[in-house]
Structure 1
Amino acid sequence: MTSSRVPIGAALLAGVLLSSTPGTAQLQPQPQPPQTQTMSPGRPLGVAGDQAFTPISSNVRVYGGIVSAESCVYDPSRKLILAVNRGAPPDRVANDGFISLINPDGTVHTARWIGLESKDPVLNQPFGSAIHRGHLYVADSVGGTADGAKRSAIVRVFDLATGGVMATLPVPDSPWLNDIAVASDGTIFGSQTGAADGSVPMRIYRIGPNGTSSILAEGAPLSRPNGVEIDPQGNIVVLNLSDDAVMTFSPAGTLLRTERAAQAGNDGLVILADGTKYISSVVNGGVSRIRPGRPAELVATGIPNAASMCYDPDDDQLVIPMNANNGLAFIKLSRGRKR
């Protein structure tokens, strides 16, 4: 990563197609006092003139707009992929994170939707993300900056329609959360990957609908816990970074079962409605599939830095941020489009 902000336009590659045709329930966590800054969400790609904005024509395809993306989540209402970009490390450039809107074919819709300018609601070092009842949840942190400020975990909650900040939920005992998932009642579950030497505990946090955090699980069998997701029964599934374990915990924190991925070093987790799990290894580059009652099998290999992936049900595809490789990988699970 570089130590300065790179203009997003420099990372975009545009190509012109040779074609003649242009082609709800209330949020339960209590919000903090309203933000004083004015929200300015980014617009879709185009040119801003003195009098008017000219959107990019439909026969142009633009790829890129990804800077150290750690996670993604699919917005079914707009049929867009929200890519959560960490940007530069906060000890080099504070509040450099942003969220891009990506079309299902990988082209850029909005290069910077949240995080357009420093006056906007900031993302300091965003990691995991989830959508629940019209809101976008992002695991972020404050501090860890060049001034030596202590790093502390927070979960930012945005209005999915406008990008406005709805709530900022602190997790006082955690320096940072890696991945998050949101249960049907609005409870957030987040992984604290911790440190191999034990200096930072390995934990799964529970953040209740009232914003109060507690520890769901700590220590073994957690071993650098990373990916977190809710299964169809409402249980919490957790991946370990240090081994191949795929652990299912009850909402009370009881370990119900442990499955094994085809590779170790896992990060991304998608669970389909039928219980099938897809698991991406950020260390070894493969994607495991675990069908209910069956052993794991590899369905893709060699994906560098395969981070916290998401599922696009409209196109039946996995979308995998490639972290330091500044890109997204797409895996079709079936031939043809479901649209």
Structure 2
Amino acid sequence: MAALSISVAWSAFTPAETAGPVPLWQVNNLDQPESVAADPHGRYLYISNINGQPKEMNGKGYISRVTVDGQVVNRKWLKGFDAPKGMAIAEGRLYVADMQTLHVIDLQQGKVIKHYRAPKAKMLNDVTVAENGAVYVSDLLGGALYRLHQASFQHWFSHPQLPHPNGVLWHEGELLVANWGEGMNNDFSTQTPGTLYRLSIQSETLTPLATGYQLGNLDGIVADGNRLYASDWISGELYRLENNERRKVLQLQAGLADIGGSGNRVIYAPMMMDDQVVAWKMPL
């Protein structure tokens, strides 16, 4: 493998501003919340609850619906999933990664309208949707990216530099992919921290972001204007990537999973090991 050329400003990892993130609210008594997806209409948040072991297919997983100010509307809005993880919303539909299945939920009807199976996948993990409607899904343990395009759900991309792709985000016409790390152990720790990559759909070229090089055991990715936020599940750290710098803006507990956002510097942090979701207002 060719050596990577990475440059990061010397101010990387400088302390966050004195006025740091402010907690807005939290929702408790969840069951291993893994992902938060914000409705683009600004009314509701959807929270996936594993409710078991990350790889356990027990049919006990569910999705919660809460308001954007943290009021629980329905704790078990939809039930019967195995180990639901990453989610994305587009055109009134909620896409949910659930082990070997991608579920499609009609938000207005409040029900699953389609299942797409990937029998060779090992753990479908995160979801994002491109402007053209294509849906991209990571397979953390299978080392692959899947794509739902024109009603066909297929293995689409794999690369030696992406042994464990986790967070995915469609951003500025390309796909951001957060690799969990390399040399994964049974407890999901790794020998080498994961790197955040930019993947060109047209050329299938994988390029590491300088600010995301060997950043951590990366889980969720959120874009807010020209800033990116990335969460580290193992360490509980939340990073902000901006202007060729990366800053740790929060130090939380282990289990900081697939963060969500709805703009205006608000980040929704699912604390998987603490059974809660906390909303944070990020500093300027």
User: Normalising TM by the smaller chain, what interval?
Assistant: 0.7 to 0.9
Report the alpha carbon displacement of residue 139 of structure 1 after superposing the two structures with TM: 0.4
Asked whether the 8 Å contact 1:68–1:323 carries over to 2, the reply is yes
Task: Give secondary structure in 2 for the equivalent of 1:296.
Answer: strand
Q: Distance in 1 between matches of 2:157 and 2:103?
A: 20
Partners in 1 of 2:170 and 2:273 — Cα distance?
A: 27
Q: Does 1:75 align with 2:22?
A: no
Report the AA paired with residue 290 of structure 1. L
Match status 1:131 vs 2:72: no
Task: Report the equivalent of 2:187.
Answer: none
User: TM-score, normalised on structure 2?
Assistant: 0.79
Change (3 A) 1:238 1:221: same
Match of 1:321 among 263, 266, 270: 270
Equivalences for residues 61-100 of structure 1 within 5 A:
63-77=27-41, 79-89=43-53, 94-100=58-64
Partner of 2:246: 296
Displacement of 1:202:
1.3
Give the structure 2 partner of residue 228 of structure 1: 168
RMSD, aligned α-carbons: 2.3
Instruction: State the SS of the aligned residue for 1:127.
Output: coil
Q: Which one-letter code corresponds to 2:234 in the other structure?
A: V
Structure 2 residue 120 is the aligned partner of structure 1 residue 156: no
**One-letter amino acid matched to 2:179:** N
Partner of 2:66: 102
In structure 2, the CA distance between the partners of 1:206 and 1:306, relative to structure 1 (3 Å rule), is same
**2:209 equivalent to 1:269:** no
Q: Which amino acid aligns with 1:302?
A: L
Rounded to whole Å, the distance in 2 between the matches of 1:189 and 1:245 is: 18
Which deviations, in whole Å up to 9, do the C-alpha atoms of 1:143-162 show, x marking residues without a partner? Answer: xxxxxxxxxx1100000112
Residue identity opposite 2:153 in structure 1: T
Bigger fraction of residues in strand: 2
Which 5+ residue runs of structure 2 have no aligned equivalent? 1-24, 182-192
Question: What CA distance in whole angstroms lies between the structure 1 residues aligned with 2:29 and 2:57?
Answer: 18
Q: For residues 97-246 of structure 1, what are the structure 2 equivalents within 5 Å?
A: 97-115=61-79, 122-141=80-99, 153-194=100-141, 201-218=142-159, 220-232=160-172, 234-242=173-181, 243-246=193-196
**TM superposition shift of 1:188:** 1.5
Distance, in Å, in 1 between the alignment partners of 2:65 and 2:87 is 14
Cα pair 2:27 2:277 within 8 Å, conserved: no
Aligned partner letter, 1:300? L
Relative to the length of structure 1, the TM-score reads 0.67
Name the CA shift for 1:208/1:231 in 2 (closer, same or farther; >3 Å). same
* Native 8 Å contact 2:138 2:145 kept in 1: yes
The alpha-carbon deviation at position 176 of structure 1 amounts to 2.3
Cα distance, 1:102 vs structure 2: 1.8
One-letter amino acid of the structure 1 residue matched with residue 205 of structure 2: T
Instruction: Give me the whole-angstrom Cα distance separating, in 1, the residues matched to 2:228 and 2:26.
Output: 31
The Cα shift of 1:168 comes to: 0.7
2:238–2:250 Cα contact (<8 Å) kept: yes
Partner SS state of residue 125, structure 2: coil
Question: Are 1:268 and 1:308, in contact at CA under 8 Å, matched by a contact in 2?
Answer: yes
Q: How many residue pairs get matched?
A: 247
**Rounded Cα–Cα distance in structure 2 between residues aligned with 1:206 and 1:92:** 24
Residue 310 (str. 1) matches residue 249 (str. 2): no
My pick for the range that moved more, 245-254 or 128-137, is: 245-254
1:285 counterpart letter in structure 2? G
64-73 or 88-97: which moved more? 88-97
Aligned to 1:331: 280
Compare CA radii of gyration and give the structure with the larger one.
1
SS of corresponding position for 2:152: coil
How has the CA–CA distance of structure 1 residues 259 and 209 changed in structure 2, closer, same or farther, with 3 Å as cutoff? farther
Percent sequence identity over matched residues?
25
Task: Confirm or deny: 8 A CA contact 2:195 2:215 kept in the other structure.
Answer: no
Moved more, 70-79 or 209-218: 209-218
Q: Superposed, which structure 2 residues align to 1:11-26 within 5 Å?
A: none
Give the C-alpha shift of residue 173 in structure 1.
Answer: 2.1
Between the aligned partners of 1:318 and 1:114, the Cα distance in structure 2 is 24
1:208–1:329 distance in 2 versus 1, CA, 3 Å:
same
